Amino acid sequence: MSNGTPLLAVEELSVVFGGRGSDEVRAVDGVSFTLNEGKVTGLVGESGCGKSVTSLALMGLLPSRGVRIGGSAVMRLPEGETDLLRLPARRMRDLRGSQLAMIFQDPLSSLNPVVPIGVQVTEILRRHRRMGGSAAAKEAAVLLDRVGIPDPTRRLREYPHQLSGGMRQRALIAMAVACRPRVMIADEPTTALDVTIQAQILELLKELVTEEGTALLMITHDLGVVAGLCDDINVLYAGRAVESAPRGPLFAEPAHPYTIGLLGSVPRLDAPRGEPLTPIRGSVNDNIAWTDGCAFAPRCDRYAAECLEGPPPLVPAGDGHTHRCVDPAEEETE
């Protein structure tokens, strides 16, 4: 945990889709975490656990109709503390891109195909830093250079389809860091990239966070990314954080069976040849509602009757380590 007040404190965030006629879906169900200066916080879980919805809710990018957002997300801004979830749309538009930036998953579809890269980088500088045309163009070249795109002046004139996948993601990162945001959210930024490019992009993100003191929220399903990058980790399951801990304790002493399952399902190079992987059985579709008990119970190897006696409470396990399991793993459960 870093010292001082967090840059962004998310408390009991909930996002509910639908309602009124159709069935309600609680995509995010009481998630809390903090983002701190120069630190990377991870949000980990499988598809459908609510991690992307969390990021869109914080950015104010969810549709206004048919969505209910609860809880609070207090951000520390130069002018004081502000709850992002209660901000009017206009004000949010001012913050997005300047104080709060986001990097998306698929770099090709996230870039406008018919607008040159240069315009897509300079438009954010003109909007938030009120730069003129030539100043913005100069700064855009500096930014591309900064994120490791060679020959930036040429690249600025090119269109997204002329760039490689890794370069597109670098361009998107350049746009995200253009106004030196306090908080940056990266939603699976390396999923669409080759492994070698993945490592470069993660290295770049790490560098930017340390140098600029930005707080990064890293959304991923990849535990390798988490191990290499994140300082604090929140494991999400069915819209709730089932375990939160700093990186060390989480990997050394995972408490929640879901976390253990995630770790167990990663292929390891040092495992004996031919040893089968241990996947988590079932899928998220087998969940039960959190109000009835532990949502993970139907897939859990340690399942017991007490798992279904109401929602499992948050249990502190020391050192900023918390989990929601009534029968946590004690020591070294391999």
Which residues are near another protein by CB under 8 A? 59, 61, 92-98, 101-102, 104, 106, 109-116, 119, 123-124, 127-128, 159, 161-162, 172, 175
We find the least distance from the C-beta atom of residue 122 to another protein, in angstroms, to be 11
Q: 37: Cβ–Cβ under 8 A, 6 or more apart, which residues?
A: 2, 4, 7, 182, 213, 214, 215
| CA distance between the termini of the chain | 27
Q: Which is nearer to another protein, 114 or 195 (CB)?
A: 114
Least distance (Å) from another protein to the CB of residue 195?
23
Kind and range of the H or E run holding 41? strand 40-44
Q: Which is nearer to another protein, 97 or 293 (CB)?
A: 97
> What is the residue type of 256?
H
Q: Please say which residue, 137 or 317, places its beta carbon nearer to another protein.
A: 137
With respect to another protein, which residue has the nearer C-beta, 59 or 260? 59
Closest CB to another protein among 108 and 266? 108
| Cβ at position 231, least distance to another protein in Å | 24
Closest CB 204 distance from another protein, rounded Å: 18
Q: Shortest approach of another protein to residue 178 CB, angstroms?
A: 8
SS3 233: strand
Residue 275 CB burial class (10 angstroms; 0-12, 13-18, ≥19): exposed
Give the whole-angstrom CA distance, residue 72 versus residue 91.
Answer: 16
Decide whether 72 or 105 has the Cβ nearer to another protein.
105
The two beta strands, 80-83 and 67-77, are antiparallel
Q: How far is the CB of 175 from another protein (least distance, A)?
A: 6
